Structure 1
Amino acid sequence: MLTSSRRTRGEMIFDIGNTIFMIFICFVTIYPIWYVLVNAFNEGTDAMRGGIYWWPRMFSLESFKAVFQSEGIMQAMWITVAKTIIGTFIHVLFTAMVAYALSRRDLIGGKLYIWIGTITLFFSGGLIPTFLLMKDLQLLDNFMVYIIPAMFSFFDLIIFMTFFREIPDGLEEAARIDGANDWSIFLRVVLPVSMPVVATIGLFHGVYQWNDYFTGMIYMNDTSLQPIQTYLYRVVAESSSNQMLAAVPGGITRSVTSQSIKLATMVVTTMPIVFVYPFLQKYFVKGMMIGSIKG
């Protein structure tokens, strides 16, 4: 009884300590986001006084109105949405096609292709050779620079391939008996039963496309083709934010400051991913478990 009592008491202490620790981690993770939200929804001039930590002192939507009225910001937002949707769709489809082929054990040279692909996980050509390659391919100041280089990822291929190898062979055999070819099997049999891993890779690459600022910074001189993250990066990196204020119709107003527009832009660029993630979370967890533990 004494041992059981001590074990129970120890478990209670562990649970309490673990709960306190997890609450602390959640607070450290969530509060910076909450701080940005609170200050973004506060009146700009008043926010410059500081002291806003938990709730807006003077609630205002003027900064968000300025963001959505700015042609430069909205153009960058449309570029980001377009490259995220198109890039994610093409990446998932193309990577899944290659992974399905490599998952076939009767593929000639399959092990060699996998060995070559594994090398790319550890070595790359570097930034300058990649830039010269993009230049020779005429992808500088071209929207396709967001799509073509990101069409394939060997890391994502491994997850896809592991999942495909867990699909029962009987499904493909039944489809072949019905007269289906490889394309029909892939599109009508394999992909429909692979939604968990498709959602997982789609979420991975969608977040990458949405948050990617580096590609636009290196390969884009045309500001009309820059994504919102690159736009925001350049404004924050500059010593003055007059560029952003100048893009606001009517210029500087009493309730809008460069800092308030920065915060509002951060909220606008972050919230779409935050809202989409809960809907894909169940597929994300299932896809990661199948692609890692079973492999």
Structure 2
Amino acid sequence: MQAKRVKQDLDSRIFDTVNVTILLLFTMIIIVPLWNVIVSSFSSGRSLAEGGFVFWPTEFSLENYQAVFRDETIWQSFIISVLKTVIGVLTHVFFCAMIGYGLSKSNVRGRKLYVTMGVITMFFSGGMIPTYLLIKSLGLLNTFWVYIIPALFSYYDVVILMNFFRNVPDSLEESAKIDGAGDWKIFLRIFIPLSMPAMATIALFNGVNQWNDFMTTKLYITDQWLYPLQMKLYEIIVQSQTQSMQNIGGSVVIETTTKGVQLATIVITTLPIVVIYPILQRYFISGMMLGAVKE
């Protein structure tokens, strides 16, 4: 019996050692390139032109970030990105919550048909050209609402919220109805506060998609005042390819490089998500388990 227990302890230690080693390896694989990107973005063009891995900037410089912010319209693009992310997340979560609340009720007429139609949208879409024609017919081309209205609905998010609403005790809804509350009041006062973990999870996913969205602008927007940050930074990178070096008196002086500007843009676009994620992490962990366990 004692020998068996010793063997189990040894196996447990070996298992823990292997797990810790693998996790440390994966952590280094993630952290080292990320650190290299951040440090390289603060390096001068001359040091970046020499190549190699940069663990610490040999020539500290803010020229890469100055090249990004040299465009005066960059702040307008930043405001557009913030507005479309905030408004898009709020409207998307609320719209999906309304649909999920309705479909969570088994007595809704046509519920099976609506569920079937929703499942179909998870696997099939109209395609790029039909979607463009639809956006054009709705008059959404070159408007801010092209970022908001087409992104209102996602049946995947509806399923998450629908499963969460089903786990809310019926006694809460029945008590509210006895007190004279209607469907809207029950939805806003009971189901919305109780569904914060699920809604925070959906908000995090949708917020990342909205912030990083590039193709919507590429396909439907030509007005530069409606360009989000990602599209504006894309233009800056393209322009920097021809302005990376200046020839002064026959000698080449490297101020910025395309690589340096690209690294600076990566840091700028990633920073807001890195700041927001820890705030929503506790909701994210619990929200990912919604619907996974059935009692």
Q: Same fold (TM over 0.5)?
A: yes
- Could you tell me how far 1:64 is from its partner in structure 2? 2.3
Instruction: Return the alpha-carbon distance in structure 2 between the equivalents of residues 136 and 107 of structure 1.
Output: 32
User: Size of the alignment, in residue pairs?
Assistant: 288
- Could you tell me how far 1:67 is from its partner in structure 2? 2.7
Write the deviation string for residues 233-274 of structure 1: whole angstroms up to 9, x where unpaired. Answer: 4555x49634899xxxxxxx9644443222112111101001
Aligned to 2:34: 33
- Could you tell me how far 1:290 is from its partner in structure 2? 2.4
Equivalent pair of 1:160/1:291 in contact (CA under 8 Å): no
Matches within 5 A, 1:1-295: 1-236=2-237, 238=238, 241-242=241-242, 255-294=255-294
Equivalent pair of 2:80/2:226 in contact (CA under 8 Å): yes
Question: Between the two proteins, what is the percent identity of the paired residues?
Answer: 48
- Could you tell me how far 1:275 is from its partner in structure 2? 0.9
Instruction: Return the alpha-carbon distance in structure 2 between the equivalents of residues 78 and 165 of structure 1.
Output: 38
- Which 5+ residue runs of structure 2 have no aligned equivalent? 246-252
Q: Give the secondary-structure state (helix, strand or coil) at the position aligned to 1:71.
A: coil
Aligned to 1:249: none
User: One-letter code of the match for 1:42?
Assistant: S
Q: Give the secondary-structure state (helix, strand or coil) at the position aligned to 2:275.
A: helix
Equivalent pair of 2:39/2:56 in contact (CA under 8 Å): yes
Equivalent pair of 1:88/1:206 in contact (CA under 8 Å): yes
Where do 4+ consecutive residues of structure 1 move more than 6 Å? none
Q: Give the secondary-structure state (helix, strand or coil) at the position aligned to 1:185.
A: helix
Q: In structure 2, do the counterparts of structure 1 residues 242 and 86 end up closer, same or farther at CA, with 3 Å as the change threshold?
A: farther
Equivalent pair of 1:66/1:261 in contact (CA under 8 Å): yes
User: One-letter code of the match for 2:133?
Assistant: L
Write the deviation string for residues 161-210 of structure 1: whole angstroms up to 9, x where unpaired. Answer: 00011111111122212221111111111101111111011111001101
Task: Answer with 25-34 or 95-104: which moved more.
Answer: 25-34
- Could you tell me how far 1:2 is from its partner in structure 2? 2.8
After TM superposition, the score normalised by the length of structure 2 is 0.90
Equivalent pair of 1:87/1:147 in contact (CA under 8 Å): yes
After TM superposition, the score normalised by the length of structure 1 is 0.90
Equivalent pair of 2:240/2:261 in contact (CA under 8 Å): no
Equivalent pair of 2:96/2:157 in contact (CA under 8 Å): yes
Q: Give the secondary-structure state (helix, strand or coil) at the position aligned to 1:28.
A: helix
RMSD of the alignment, in Å? 2.3
Instruction: Return the alpha-carbon distance in structure 2 between the equivalents of residues 267 and 228 of structure 1.
Output: 12
Instruction: Return the alpha-carbon distance in structure 1 between the equivalents of residues 118 and 262 of structure 2.
Output: 41
Write the deviation string for residues 60-84 of structure 1: whole angstroms up to 9, x where unpaired. Answer: 2333234334223332222111110
Q: In structure 2, do the counterparts of structure 1 residues 262 and 294 end up closer, same or farther at CA, with 3 Å as the change threshold?
A: same
- Which 5+ residue runs of structure 1 have no aligned equivalent? 246-252
Task: Answer with 265-274 or 17-26: which moved more.
Answer: 17-26
Equivalent pair of 2:45/2:260 in contact (CA under 8 Å): yes
Equivalent pair of 2:244/2:257 in contact (CA under 8 Å): no
